[in-house]
Amino acid sequence: MNKKRTGIIIIAIIIVFAAAFFGFNLKNSSDAKNLNKSAQDAIAKGEYQKAVDIYSNLYDKTNDATYIEKKRAAVELMSSQNYYDLGMEYLKKSEYIDAAKSFIRVREDDNVNYQKSQQRLQETTQKVIMNSDSLAEDSNYEASLNLLNAYYKVMPKEKLIKDKIEEIEEARDKFKDKKEEEKKQKALSEQKEKEAREKAEQLAQESKQELEKKKQDAKSNESVKVEGSKVDESQSLIDLSIELVGKTYLVTNDNAKIYAQPNKNSELISTIPMGSEVYIYEAKPESSGKVWCHAIIKSSDTFKSYDAWISSNNLK
């Protein structure tokens, strides 16, 4: 009877321990499920650090290697979020290359930040294009292309950037061609101006000799001498003409008129601004008390040269 009772007691004890063990494991399993759900909810909200902490706790409690893998994935998501935040900081500082480098490292399985990072990449691309256009508008094509090419290295699949590079390269080449043509035209213009000035200097000598002869004729002409003051005026204009020929003067009146012939009724070639340069190679005294000057005239605003007549009243 005692043996039978002892056996019953032992069986009862075993049942109690088994029930306790089963109950403990059941509770642990329930707790693990709840914690795992909390970690998944944290990931859905972008609370990746919280998820990492929960998976660490789960592994410590269960020693289940599955939670180590889940923790590693949560750590990668936490790193992805850091890249998004870093990209936003670079974008605010207009550091577009570094911003793009950060945004492209946001993971596709980062449901909280991936779509936002793609939108920020589009924004960054547009900013780069705007900046490159601004540089190109200032004819700073190399700086524009440097920006675009640096960005294209980071975003090699971005067609907008590739197209913009081709557009700026074409604009740069046209600009270079235009500058080369302008350089050639300038050299040709300078050569023509040089030749015209050399010819003008020769004509100036001839004009001076002719005026000197006029001066001598005026002195020896007794019929002219009789008129007194007219002789003096005529002599004075001849002296002024001799003084003007072969020298360079500046225009003192704004919008001074220049003509094809030494009179106001001839063709008006243009008006030139104050400060324009005038090299006189021929002079004709006029009875009205002024001298018409045949000259090479270089405009002070356009730098265009004219071969025309201008009144001495406009000169300093």
Q: Per residue in 151-196, pLDDT tens?
A: 999 999 999 999 999 999 999 999 999 999 999 988 887 887 787 7
Give the 3-state secondary structure of residue 299: coil
**pLDDT higher than 60, residue 313:** yes
Determine if residue 63 is left, alpha or beta; phi over 0 gives left, psi from -120 to 50 gives alpha, anything else beta.
left
**pLDDT higher than 80, residue 24:** no
**pLDDT higher than 60, residue 27:** no
Give the 3-state secondary structure of residue 46: coil
Q: Amino acid identity, residue 46?
A: G
Domains, in order of start, for the chain? 19-120 (1.25.40), 192-314 (no CATH)
135 CB contacts (<8 Å, ≥6 apart)? 141, 143, 144, 147
Q: Amino acid identity, residue 133?
A: D
Retrieve residue 74's tokens.
Answer: 């949560």
pLDDT value of residue 221: 61
**pLDDT higher than 50, residue 34:** yes
Tell me the C-alpha distance between 6 and 238, whole Å.
156
Mean pLDDT of the chain: 85
- Indicate the pLDDT class of residue 26, thresholds 50, 70 and 90: very low
**pTM of this structure:** 0.58
Instruction: Taking residues 52-63, report their average pLDDT.
Output: 88
Retrieve residue 135's tokens.
Answer: 């540089």
More confident of the two residues 219 and 83: 83
